[in-house]
Chain A
Amino acid sequence: MYQVVFAWYVSLWSGCRVLPFRRGNAFDAAVDEWDPSEEFVEGLRRYDEVRREGASRRGSLLAVYVVLKPHDGRKIADVVRRVRAAVGSDRRGEVWFAHLPLPPECELGEFDV
């Protein structure tokens, strides 16, 4: 679910259209260029509408980003359970997560081009 919502937003912001699809058990995406025509303009108009009325009518995809202390892998399940209880998510209480171990700061260089 969260991937397709992300794809929907990225499609309208990037000038490229993201076409999410399932490949076996995994999720994948194809990309093509928008035809800069009525369809694209209509998409942007629709985006404004969704921003105005989507949350109050249908809800939201909420993405929470947090940097965790050093931990062993078992901590994640506990953290996800706590957030699920705290947020009270819809759709049968599903909470998805992505877990990205931190590289050293010196590898996160800021590039000036």
Chain B
Amino acid sequence: MVELFPYDDFAQEAVSGRVAVADVARKVRSLVSDALISGAARMARAFLDVLPGSQYIRRVVAWYASRKCPDFRVLPFRLGDRFDAAVDCWDVSDDRFRAERERSEAVMREGSRARGALLVLYAVVGPHGPEDLERAVSAAAHALASEVKGRGDLHYVSLPLPLDEELGEFDL
């Protein structure tokens, strides 16, 4: 059971002058932060859901998301037989945040040569049935067989295309 913040009580106290302006400002900042984290957590879950069913792939992507996103840290975890993600805010003035960003740059420099890489390839394929897709993925797996690390897993997701006009580009 989530305890909701008593907005009405707080608003009445603020108006009555029983709460210091600094307390009001602090509380408002906290509410905004909670809302941002809640939105970011939903986004992280949705994004990770788009990825294929390999927890390893999701963990690698979450690792990068945590270090590249300026404000949020993504914490992947297993929930029953599902994958989920929690999100919290980085304190960007914290030394740990700077260390994580530097670590990301170090991995980008030496990770491929030392350990390998997660490669994600995106291709738009023409109208097709399920068998055509399986054939295309099988052909890609065959073409890459000699380069794949470990058990040779190749994962994929297929996202049927919406109409072009639904993919509008927004200029803000």
A residues contacting B by CB (< 8 A) are 1-2, 4-10, 13-16, 18-22, 30-31, 33, 46, 50-51, 53-73, 75-76, 79-80, 82-91, 94-104, 107-108, 110-113
B133 near A69: Cβ-Cβ < 8 Å: no
CB < 8 Å: which of A18, A58, A63 contacts B156?
Answer: A63
Given A9-B50, A100-B117, A110-B59; 15 other pairs, CB 8 A cutoff? A4-B167, A16-B43, A55-B160, A60-B133, A60-B160, A63-B158, A65-B155, A67-B150, A85-B143, A87-B136, A95-B121, A99-B119, A100-B64, A100-B118, A111-B77
CB proximity to A under 8 Å, residues B85-122: 86, 103, 107-108, 110-122
B112 near A50: Cβ-Cβ < 8 Å: no
A31 near B43: Cβ-Cβ < 8 Å: yes
Q: How far is the CA of A53 from the CA of B140 in the complex (A)?
A: 24
Q: Which bracket fits the contact residues of B?
A: 35 or more
With A59-B124, A82-B144 given, is the CB distance from A101 to B117 under 8 Å?
yes
Q: Of residues A57, A62, A76, which shows the largest number of chain B Cβ atoms within 10 Å of its Cβ?
A: A62
With A64-B121, A91-B124 given, is the CB distance from A54 to B112 under 8 Å?
no
CB proximity to A under 8 Å, residues B146-172: 147-150, 153-163, 166-167, 169-172
